[in-house]
Chains A and B, each alone.
Chain A
Amino acid sequence: QLQLQESGPGLVKPSETLSLTCTVSGGSISSSSYYWEWIRQPPGKGLEWIGNIYYSGSTYYNPSLRSRVTISGDTSKNQFSLKLNAVTAADTAVYYCGRVSGSGWPIDYWGQGTLVTVSS
């Protein structure tokens, strides 16, 4: 059974960089069949897609966040990561990682999510 687990600091200061890692078990991020994604949800609000990474290392980002986001993968650890630069309070959210079979397909596996608060 595929499992995804987010990890990283729960508190980040304004203007700094948010860094999260998603550890995948029960499957390989090196598989050519899947994309690996990041999604976030501000408290009490809806879901927002951040971006994804393919096994080849190619990435695709939400245009609204593209200038601040980097998604990378570490196949040796079966992990993929999110970096979001120059954070503000508006970046406070639960951050989820997930798996997708392709652009026309849904997120079929989700991590449990991790709350990141941006505050001084």
Chain B
Amino acid sequence: SYELTQPLSVSVALGQTARITCGGNNIGSKNVHWYQQKPGQAPVLVIYRDSNRPSGIPERFSGSNSGNTATLTIGGAQAGDEADYYCQVWDSARVFGTGTKVTVL
């Protein structure tokens, strides 16, 4: 089965840029989506189809996907961006990444 690997945690200073990677075999050929999940809440879609932002998601969230790695970038990180982030693709089933905890220092 297809696997998506994310770093367990990423720390970023307030106002700086955080990059969260999502590794998978030839992931560049797939559509990657990213979800943000805060404690006790349901996930929220922040990027879909590699690099598209849903309505209401700040411009500081962006995404890219190439080769074996997709990346979610949070530019100018805010305290409110502290959360778990999950990447997701479809490969004969909906597959989620292992999740990354983002801490804003």
Does A associate with B in a complex? Answer: yes
**A interface with B by C-beta (< 8 Å):** 37, 39, 46-49, 52, 60, 62-64, 96, 103-108, 110-113
**B interface with A by C-beta (< 8 Å):** 1, 31, 33, 35, 41-45, 48-49, 54, 86, 88, 90, 92-99
Alpha-carbon distance between A52 and B90 when the two chains are bound, in angstroms? 13
Q: A63-B1, A96-B42 are in contact. Are A46 and B98 (CB under 8 A)?
A: yes
Residues in B whose Cβ lies below 8 Å from that of A49? 93-96
Residues in B whose Cβ lies below 8 Å from that of A96? 42-43
Q: Are the CB atoms of B42 and A111 closer together than 8 Å?
A: yes
Q: Are the CB atoms of B96 and A48 closer together than 8 Å?
A: yes
Residues in B whose Cβ lies below 8 Å from that of A48? 96
Q: Are the CB atoms of B96 and A110 closer together than 8 Å?
A: no
Residues in B whose Cβ lies below 8 Å from that of A113? 42
Alpha-carbon distance between A49 and B93 when the two chains are bound, in angstroms? 8
Alpha-carbon distance between A108 and B97 when the two chains are bound, in angstroms? 17
